[in-house]
Amino acid sequence: MFPFLQQSASMPTPARVVLFSGLLVLVLAVTNASTADRITPDLQRAEVLAGLAAVGLMLVAVLWTRANPRSADQVDLQGEQGLVMDQQTSADLREELGWGSHMLLTATPASTVLVYWRGQVILRRGLIRAVTFKPGDICNRVMERETTISLVNTELFPGRTEFDSVVENLPAVVISPLGKNGVVVVGGWSKRCFSQSDERWLEGWTQRLKTSLEKNSSD
Q: Residues 64-115: pLDDT tens digits?
A: 666 554 455 777 898 899 999 998 889 999 999 999 999 999 999 999 999 9
Compute the distance between CA of residue 44 and CA of residue 33 in angstroms, rounded to an integer: 8
φ, ψ at 46 (rounded to 5°): -65, -40
Instruction: List the one residue out of 149, 148, 114 whose CA is nearest residue 132.
Output: 114
- Verdict on whether the full-model pTM lies above 0.95: no
Q: Residues 19-29: pLDDT tens digits?
A: 888 888 888 88
If pLDDT is split at 50, 70 and 90, which confidence band does 157 have? Answer: confident
The 10 Å CB-count burial string (b at 16+, else e) for 124-154 is bbbbbbeeebebeebbeebbeeeebbbbbeb
Q: Residues 190-205: pLDDT tens digits?
A: 998 999 999 999 999 9
φ, ψ at 170 (rounded to 5°): -60, 130
At residue 129, the 3 state secondary structure works out as coil
Q: Which residues is 151 bridged to in the sheet?
A: 173
Residue partners of 174: CB distance under 8 A and separation at least 6: 148, 149, 150, 151, 185, 186, 188, 194, 198, 199, 202
Strand order in the sheet with 80-85: 80-85, 120-128, 110-117, 182-188, 173-177, 149-151
If pLDDT is split at 50, 70 and 90, which confidence band does 219 have? Answer: low
3-state helix, strand, coil in the chain (%, to 5): 55, 15, 30
CATH architecture of 80-218: 2-Layer Sandwich (3.30)
Mean pLDDT of the chain: 87
